[in-house]
Structures are given as structure tokens and as C-alpha cells.
Amino acid sequence: MSADVKAKAGLEDIVATTSAICYLDGERGVLAYCGHDIHDLARHATFEEVCFLLWHRRLPTRRELGDLQTQLASARALPEPVLRLLRQIPPVDGMDALRTGVSALAHFDPDATDQSPQATYRKAVRLTAQVGSLVATYGRMAAGGGPLAPDPALGTAANFLYMLTGTRPDAVAARAFDIALILHADHELNASTFAARVTAATLSDIHSTIVSAVGTLKGPLHGGANAEVMRMLLEIGEDAGPDRAEAHVRSMLGRKEKVPGFGHRVYRTEDPRATHLRRMSKELGERVGRTRWFEMSERIEAVVVREKKLNPNVDFYSASTYYTLGIPIDLFTPIFAVSRVSGWTAHVLEQYENNRLIRPRAEYTGPTYPQRWLPLDQR
């Protein structure tokens, strides 16, 4: 490697590829999918429309949306052998169950050995439908319930909540979760998406690329912050109130501990996704008469912004949003995958379209070359 080429830790700000899927401007706090601003999508789109947008780089017509909704509905049911596997898995982290489940699905996909673009697209649709079913079913089993068949009349968000809780959600809850899925659908070359593209670049199958992504998301430096936020709030206690929350976070800062849910590798201003999740946390709390989680979160945000100049990221208010929807904390990170599988598959499809093996270089920092060989008895 040329001496003037220097490594950057974590590949920070290194441009690794071109992509037509996601646009980020960290200085201005802009996130857009295929040119469509995330605020417009959160206000007007459905998750299914966003899936089509990510896969096709344009919004669907009414007929195209209906076709996609039908395809997703017909693919949501899990094969019986996969359900048996989920029953047999010992108590594990939800991400471990998801990783195993995605790998198992490959064995029962009708296009498993077909690597054509058409078959790979069909597998992307099926994976997007099935990941939600995997997470909801595993969550229901972990709580002692039996698996529920998906309802073909419900969309992705409503079906997830129904398959998890056994109760069909009302329109407000379904729309709130639908927006959460939209906000998490893609985020350029984050760690899990990059892992998926690296795997795709070897021309491995799409199920393997999603297993790579799930394994990467499992790491606490990528996924899990919203679960940590909720555990922090629970540690403070719902009855403690905003004053106690402020004292708790000040104590954390005094000990130089990181407050989960703040700061971002890209954004230098507020994460645009946090804007909507803050509102949803407030509105859902008011709706069920449990506003304390939002009030505590709001006070914590004020302290961290003032003291550390860090803004909340997508994880901070998603914690209280999910918890108010009745979702168990252990499913917070797997839910990220329920949404992000749409972006992962979009990037994998794009990688396949114009593929080149991803093979970066490393700046060597080992012993000086050449080293003198010493016989064994002289070492």
C-alpha cells in the first residue's frame, strides 16, 4: 500500500460505494429515501410504500401497492418446521433466535437455489414479510403463548402487533408502529447494511446476507441502545418523576458514564427520526394515561443537550414509544430488523446489480519488514 494512504479508524467518512437508495446530510439533519424526505414519508407513507420505494427507487402506483401488499400477506406465514425450531430453541436473546430463524427460512424458500434477479427480488419480499413473523412469534412464545397465523387483512405493522399480543391493534397504535417501521427502514452504510453488502459482493445468497446483517446488528455498538434507554427509565422508576430522572442522569454524567440514546456518528444536529418518535412517545402516553415515561425522557434530553451538547438519536424516544405499545424490551433490537430488512434487501439487490467484490486494504503497523529468521533453538 502507498505510504501516503492512511487508515481511518472505523472507516469514518470513507466513501465505500455509490448508492441510489439513501441520502444523508449530517450537518443539516437530512434523511431521505430515494430523494423523498423522511418527514414526508413519516407523515404520508405506509411501510409497504416505503418498501416499494427502496426496492424500485420510486413510489408505487395504487395497483403496484396492492400487488405488493398481496405478496407480503401471502408470504407472512412461517413454515411449520421453522415454527418447530422456534419452539425447540432454549431461552436466548431475541437476536439469536432471529439469526437462527432467518438461516432456517432459506431451506424452505421455493427460490432457494435460484440466484436470478427475479428470484432474488421475490426472496427479498418474502424475507421482509417473514422477519416480522419470526420476531412476533418468538416474542409470543417467550411470553408463554402459542403462535398465531397472520391476518391477511392487516398490514405489516398491524400484523406484527396482532401476532405478538393476540389483539388486533386499533388504528392509532397500528399507525404509530407503521411510522416507526418507516423511520428505521434504511440508513445508508450503517454497520449491518455494510455487512450485508460485503456478503452480497461475494455473490452469496440473499438469506446469507441478511444473516450477516442480523449478526452485525446484534452487537451493542450498533443495536440495543433503545433497550438500554428503557432499562434506564425503569431503573429510575415510573413513579419517580422528571426530577428524579434529572438527578439520575446528572449522576451518570458525573461518573462519566454514557447516557444511552444520544449522539450519532453522522448527525451533527437532531436526528430527524427522533423528531417523530418524540411526538409519538408523547401522544401514545397521553392516549393511555401514562405520560411519565415521556416526561422523564424529555427532562433527560434537556440535561444531556445542555451539559453534553448531544442530541437524541433514533433510539432515545423509540424506547418509550415501543414500551407504551406493549412491546417487551427484549424485542426492541429485533424490531429494528423487522423494519431494516427492507433496506438491507434493497442494498443487496443494488449490490448484485453492479457487483464488484469488496476488498479493502489495511495500513500495516506490525514489525518492520523484513524480519530475520531465527532457528528454533536460538529464539
Q: Which residues are catalytic, by number?
A: 264, 315
Query: What's the rounded Cα separation, in Å, for the pair 109 and 248?
Result: 49
> Which sign does the torsion angle of CA 201, 202, 206, 211 carry?
negative
DSSP tag of 11 = G
What is the DSSP secondary-structure string of 19-72?
-SSEEEETTTTEEEETTEEHHHHHHH--HHHHHHHHHHSSPPPHHHHHHHHHHH
At a CB cut-off of 8 Å and minimum separation 6, what does 104 contact?
Answer: 81, 82, 85
Nearest alpha-carbon partner for 133 in 109, 162, 110, 111? 162
Under 8 Å between Cβ of 187 and 159: no
Query: What's the rounded Cα separation, in Å, for the pair 179 and 310?
Result: 24
Q: What number of other Cβ atoms are within 10 A of residue 292's Cβ?
A: 19
Query: What's the rounded Cα separation, in Å, for the pair 49 and 34?
Result: 12
Query: What's the rounded Cα separation, in Å, for the pair 278 and 273?
Result: 9
Query: CB burial class (10 A; 0-12, 13-18, 19+) of residue 241?
Result: middle
